[in-house]
A = this chain, B = another copy of it.
């Protein structure tokens, strides 16, 4: 099967013909239908996060179950699924405390040393990026990396729920648990940021200030519920937000993964406000946080993929979409085939798109 593989940091992805093994006892083989192009994979491409190579990337996908292992009871061939990188064991301390997204024992859900690898290229193992490897015609996963969804959900939009929506909406409604009437600022209006905006609208925020350096993204943000937009190229967004709010915003969300914008997110909150970092900041970078500002009960919190329990959350998000409460249509800027994956990343880096979806069914 064809898959986009990173062989070397700093080099383009290469579409290769990989061997995929048969499902083990609790594994599921999924025919991938759509996969979103998310910035987090790019961290491994440019080396700002380190991981073993070669690796097949992609982690935001939907598909249809093709084959299940002998002990799988949750899924059957033909089921429509979304994959999620928050694979959970269901037995560890974090899973049992309602925090499956920080599962302590995900290693036990991988194939172990000495076993045949799930993916290989000419007999050599290829790692699954984020445990998923979704830029591929097939995904071979533990069943606890999958959630079953309604078959009337369009699978291209379903793919976005696997990462951007779960992460962005979840950061607002779970990690931060904003109250209705809260004021919210979101820095970065890509797929995750737009989802945070949509989450703030769902949760009844009174003001939602979108912040980006592209006017066309600020316009797009309004379709997701933003009430105002700030172009950070024109002025310091911290000063603008402090001025607009008379002293700071209740909740800020950073959806880019940059040191500077994380620090801005903290600097724009009011006393007892919360700054929530959703983006993946390059490994080793230290945020500089004004200690004296903490005195007023300010909070800097990280969000691990929206603090999700994805088997609970994702079916809700599907319903929200189908009931008209969650805009996903406008999040997809373009649909392209796997062969154009490197162009899709170039578009993302240029700020041209909210989300590109790779489609495997010829619908591009």
Which residues of the partner chain B approach A291 to less than 8 Å between Cβ atoms?
259, 262, 277, 281-282, 285-287
3 closest cross-chain pairs (CB), A and B: A294-B302, A281-B291, A297-B304
Determine whether A175 belongs to the interface, using a CB cutoff of 8 Å to chain B. yes
Q: How far is the CA of A301 from the CA of B302 in the complex (A)?
A: 11
Name 27 interchain pairs, CB-CB below 8 A, sorted by A: A94-B272, A102-B271, A102-B272, A102-B296, A102-B297, A175-B297, A272-B304, A281-B291, A282-B291, A283-B292, A284-B292, A285-B291, A285-B292, A286-B288, A287-B288, A287-B289, A288-B289, A293-B302, A294-B300, A294-B302, A296-B302, A296-B304, A297-B304, A297-B307, A299-B299, A299-B300, A299-B301
- Given B175, B295, B300, which contacts A289 in the complex, CB threshold below 8 Å? B300
CB closest chain-B residue, reference A273: B102
Smallest CB separation, A135 vs chain B (Å): 22
Copies assembled:
2
Q: How far is the CA of A308 from the CA of B361 in the complex (A)?
A: 58
Determine whether A99 belongs to the interface, using a CB cutoff of 8 Å to chain B. yes
Determine whether A280 belongs to the interface, using a CB cutoff of 8 Å to chain B. yes
Smallest CB separation, A301 vs chain B (Å): 4
Smallest CB separation, A152 vs chain B (Å): 33
Which residues of the partner chain B approach A299 to less than 8 Å between Cβ atoms?
299-302
Q: How far is the CA of A304 from the CA of B259 in the complex (A)?
A: 26
Within 8 A of B (CB), among A98-118: 99, 101-102
Which residues of the partner chain B approach A80 to less than 8 Å between Cβ atoms?
none
Within 8 A of B (CB), among A293-320: 293-304, 307
The answer to whether A297 touches B302, judged by C-beta atoms less than 8 angstroms apart, is yes
